[in-house]
């Protein structure tokens, strides 16, 4: 089995690392907080720095929140770059800037290692169930090496192109998710304000052309008022910032994406940055002075 370094063992990273351990891989672990005891009990080796992880692992997986965090992990004083050697593979599974990703890849490749950007979709539920969608950018040879490892963490694994293309695909995914949450929120709010039972409306819509995974999961959250985070609003805001920054660079307009970001910003202004992103409906509810779950 493979020696794998794993940096970033939070909500997503911890179950992902656990699946790799269950498959028999030896893991070298590092995080800014104490590593989960269950990973250590399963044989994980705790390393004091990202450099140490890179020295021990043939493959180094990174799963941290944002672009600056990835840059620090890679190129900080005791970063991954200091511990790399020829033939190793760095895999960034965070969701970060596609443009920055391309620059990171060039620097890593200059050290003789391969680089894959492999952001995921599916949230905490998908991480725990090993059912993540994994969108990969980078050299095909490195992808072929990593495919069996990706398969232990996800069910839909696709090489979409060169470095940066995985991150571009993730940004596109987040646009669709945000706009669909908005659509579901508006629909259930309309139905509820009109006097219909939103739970039954959602049930009826699940059998028609409007059916979607977001209507199923996030629509239920809206009806049941469960906004404990599976994926926090502040993280989705970060992803939509990437979309809007990219749109400016490309000279295109993403008007609905901008509206969705403003709704998230309204939630944040009301103390909701840590709500699940289905909590976007609360911004719509505040404007309507009506909650979806109330007749």
What's the confidence (pLDDT) of residue 294? 66
| The pLDDT of residue 293 is above 90 | no
Q: Which of 102, 170, 193, 238 is catalytic?
A: 170
What's the pLDDT at 154? 98
Q: What is the mean pLDDT of residues 147-173?
A: 97
Q: Tens of pLDDT along 90-125?
A: 999 999 999 999 999 999 999 999 999 999 998 888
Q: What is the pTM of this model?
A: 0.92
Predicted confidence (pLDDT) at residue 295 exceeds the cutoff of 60: no
Q: What is the mean pLDDT of the chain?
A: 96
pLDDT value at 148 more than 70: yes
pLDDT tens string 258-289: 999 999 999 999 999 999 999 999 999 999 99
Residue 170 annotated to the active site? yes
Give the lowest-confidence range in 69-78, 119-128, 184-193, 255-264: 119-128
Please state the rounded mean pLDDT for residues 223-234: 94
Sorted by where each starts, the structural domains of the chain and their CATH numbers stand as: 3-161 (3.40.50.720), 169-288 (1.10.1040.10)
Encoded tokens for 231: 């994926």
pLDDT at 162: 98
């Amino acid at each position: 089995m493979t020696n794998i370094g794993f940096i970033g063992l939070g909500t997503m990273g911890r179950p992902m690392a656990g699946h790799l351990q269950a498959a028999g891989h030896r893991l070298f672990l590092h995080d800014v907080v104490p590593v989960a005891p269950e990973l250590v009990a399963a044989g994980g080796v705790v390393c004091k720095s990202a450099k140490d992880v890179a020295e021990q692992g043939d493959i180094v997986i990174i799963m941290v929140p944002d672009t600056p965090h990835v840059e620090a992990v890679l190129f900080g004083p005791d970063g991954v770059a200091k511990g790399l050697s020829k033939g190793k593979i760095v895999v960034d599974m965070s969701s970060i800037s596609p443009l920055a990703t391309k620059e990171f890849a060039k620097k890593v490749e200059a050290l003789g290692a391969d680089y894959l950007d492999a952001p995921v979709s599916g949230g905490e539920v998908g991480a725990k169930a090993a059912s993540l969608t994994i969108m990969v950018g980078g050299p095909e040879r490195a992808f072929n090496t990593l495919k069996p490892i990706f398969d232990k963490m996800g069910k839909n694994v696709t090489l979409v192109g060169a470095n940066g293309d995985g991150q571009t695909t993730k940004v596109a995914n987040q646009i669709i998710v945000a706009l669909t949450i908005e659509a579901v929120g508006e629909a259930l709010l309309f139905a509820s304000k009109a006097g219909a039972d939103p739970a039954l409306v959602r049930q009826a819509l699940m059998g028609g052309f409007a059916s979607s995974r977001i209507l199923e999961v996030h629509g239920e959250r809206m009806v049941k008022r469960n906004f404990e985070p599976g994926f926090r609003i502040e993280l989705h805001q970060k992803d939509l910032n990437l979309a809007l920054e990219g749109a400016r660079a490309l000279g295109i307009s993403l008007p609905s994406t901008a509206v969705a970001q403003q709704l998230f910003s309204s939630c944040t202004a009301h103390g909701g940055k840590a709500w699940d992103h289905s909590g976007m409906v609360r911004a719509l509810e505040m404007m309507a002075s009506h909650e979806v779950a109330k007749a």
